[in-house]
């Protein structure tokens, strides 16, 4: 099993973007950038405590930042930042109305530098393939509870389990493939 680090980020426009990285340091650099651009203060009575916990389950800090909100980072700036850090950029759950590129903007801008589009587990895959024929589609479980893990998946044909290879597969380069 190979673990690929990533995070789903909410842009200023409230668009969810999935960023994947081979390099843990680059992922943490994006995390700091995102954290520094989170406005608002947590209301513990509404959202509860927001704890930052390490791998040994030790509480490091109870943050006052509002972690559930959108960042102040414009979509195009967010994508350029992820690309500059050598990450893969995938627009999340584009078939949903809420927090998706299509749901928020109503279209996919022509000048956007996406590696792929993610569709949710319940999406009509064939209709999505036809509708977004100029893009490679992926489908992940986007699980918020344990029972949903694995309810959707994507098969990649890669030379190695790396983000660089995933980007090649999403671009259809060098016999790399993606199948949902």
- How many residues in the chain? 180
Q: How far apart are CA 93 and CA 15, in angstroms?
A: 10
pLDDT of residue 41: 92
Q: How far apart are CA 33 and CA 12, in angstroms?
A: 14
137-139 vs 116-119, strand pairing mode: parallel
β-sheet bridge partners, residue 9: 17
pTM of the model: 0.91
Q: What separation, in Å, do the N-terminal and C-terminal C-alpha atoms of the chain show?
A: 20
pLDDT of residue 39: 94
pLDDT of residue 1: 82
11: left (phi over 0), alpha (psi -120 to 50) or beta: beta
CA angle in degrees (0–180, nearest 5) for 132-95-84: 70
Q: How do the pLDDT tens digits run along the chain, 180 residues long?
A: 889 999 999 999 999 999 999 999 999 999 999 999 999 899 999 999 999 889 899 999 999 989 888 999 999 999 999 999 999 999 999 999 999 999 999 999 989 999 999 999 889 999 999 999 999 999 998 888 888 888 899 999 999 999 999 999 999 999 999 999
Phi then psi for residue 85, to 5 deg, are -90, 10
116-119 vs 51-53, strand pairing mode: unpaired
């Amino acid at each position: 099993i190979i673990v690929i680090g990533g995070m789903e980020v909410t842009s200023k426009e409230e668009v969810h973007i999935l960023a994947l990285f081979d390099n843990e340091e680059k992922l943490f650099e994006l995390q700091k950038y995102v954290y520094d651009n989170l406005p608002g203060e947590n209301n513990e009575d509404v959202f509860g405590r927001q704890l930052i916990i390490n791998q040994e389950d030790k509480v490091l800090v109870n943050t006052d930042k509002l972690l559930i909100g959108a960042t102040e980072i414009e979509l195009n700036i967010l994508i350029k930042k992820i690309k500059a850090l050598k990450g893969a950029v995938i627009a999340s759950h584009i078939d949903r109305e809420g927090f998706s590129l299509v749901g928020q903007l109503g279209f996919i801008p022509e000048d956007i530098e996406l590696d792929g589009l993610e569709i949710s587990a319940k999406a009509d895959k064939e209709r999505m393939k036809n509708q977004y024929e100029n893009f490679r589609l992926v489908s992940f479980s986007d699980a918020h509870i344990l029972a949903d893990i694995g309810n959707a998946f994507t098969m990649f044909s890669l030379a190695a389990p790396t983000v660089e290879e995933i980007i090649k597969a999403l671009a259809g380069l060098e016999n790399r493939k993606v199948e949902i």
